[in-house]
Structure 1
Amino acid sequence: MSAPGAGSPHGPADGLAGVWRLVSFHTLAPDGALRPGPLGDSPTGLLFYSGTGHVAVHMSPAGGPHEYLGYAGTWRREGDRVLHTLNLAPRPEWLGSVQVRLLELDGDRLTLTGTALSTAERRVLVWERIGHGAP
């Protein structure tokens, strides 16, 4: 049995392993404008990338989980993209899906852009590193 994310090394060299705090979550309008995402103006969240190829994300509106978004699975990086394969999700149709995110990494600031899980809308999430992962 191969390790999660086999075929792509994971660890500090990837620049992603660690714990990330959600800074902003926006929907990208067709005209390129940013508008609030589904969790409102000030969402809160954590993103975990392990050095062994596991990923977990948890997000909710600030002030309480009136709505909660989250999933877990494995990840691998391919150049300027990160791919999340979902093994645990709140909706059965998400299980096994591969979510592709364009990534921009600038020191401890990570921007992920991709299509929403349940709509065709484009989302832009900005994360700030708050801890480094163990390899």
Structure 2
Amino acid sequence: MTQDIVGVWHLETFHDVDDSGRPMGEGPLGPDPSGLLIYTPDGHVSVSMMPAASTPAPGPSYMGYAGEWRMRDGVLVHHIRISSRADWVGIEQSRLATLDGDVLTVSATREVDARPRRRQLVWRRAARPGGAR
């Protein structure tokens, strides 16, 4: 999957999910988040996400970071160099990732409000300029 995820992706959904993978209400960026995820062939990653401009979200108004990515033992690892969250700078975050055609699903368990939460983001491959994927 390593080279298959190279490219540009648009965020479709971002939810906390239960043990069976079902969404638990709105995600931290509200019901209609916007996002852009970029994986380069040489190992760089950039993520930018925000709630829809017309919809206030329960959480932050913008989330973003950039750094390097790699696959390690089938797990996607992001090494964060810069971030809208100072506590993320310099850390590595591991994610489970599945690719189904032009849909990339990424999930991880994170500590939120002092409890573990599984978060799932679904991304769709962006069309290239001119409409080709």
Deviations 1:73-113 (A, max 9, x none): 00001353210000001222211111111001011110000
Q: Which amino acid aligns with 1:44?
A: S
Q: Which amino acid aligns with 1:17?
A: V
Identity among equivalent positions (%) equals 42
Choose 50-59 or 70-79, whichever is displaced more. 70-79
Aligned to 1:126: 122
One of 32, 36, 41 as aligned partner of 1:42: 32
Q: Which amino acid aligns with 1:25?
A: F
How large is the RMSD of aligned CA atoms in angstroms? 2.2
Change (3 A) 1:31 1:128: closer
Q: Which amino acid aligns with 1:128?
A: R
Distance in 1 between the 2:122 and 2:89 partners? Answer: 24
Q: Which amino acid aligns with 2:124?
A: E
Aligned to 1:76: 70
Choose 86-95 or 60-69, whichever is displaced more. 60-69
More contact order relative to length (CA 8 Å, sep ≥ 6): 1
Question: Aligned residue pairs: how many?
Answer: 120
Deviation at 1:33, TM superposition (A): 3.2
Q: Which amino acid aligns with 1:52?
A: D
Q: Which amino acid aligns with 2:121?
A: L
Q: Which amino acid aligns with 1:95?
A: V
Q: Which amino acid aligns with 1:108?
A: D
Deviation at 1:121, TM superposition (A): 1.6
Aligned to 2:13: 24
Deviation at 1:122, TM superposition (A): 1.2
Distance in 2 between the 1:131 and 1:80 partners? Answer: 26
Aligned to 2:81: 87
Distance in 2 between the 1:71 and 1:102 partners? Answer: 18
Deviation at 1:14, TM superposition (A): 1.9
Where structure 1 has 5 or more consecutive residues not aligned to the other structure, the ranges are 1-11
Conserved 8 A contact 1:57-1:72? yes
Taking structure 2 as the reference length, the TM-score comes to 0.80
Conserved 8 A contact 1:24-1:127? yes
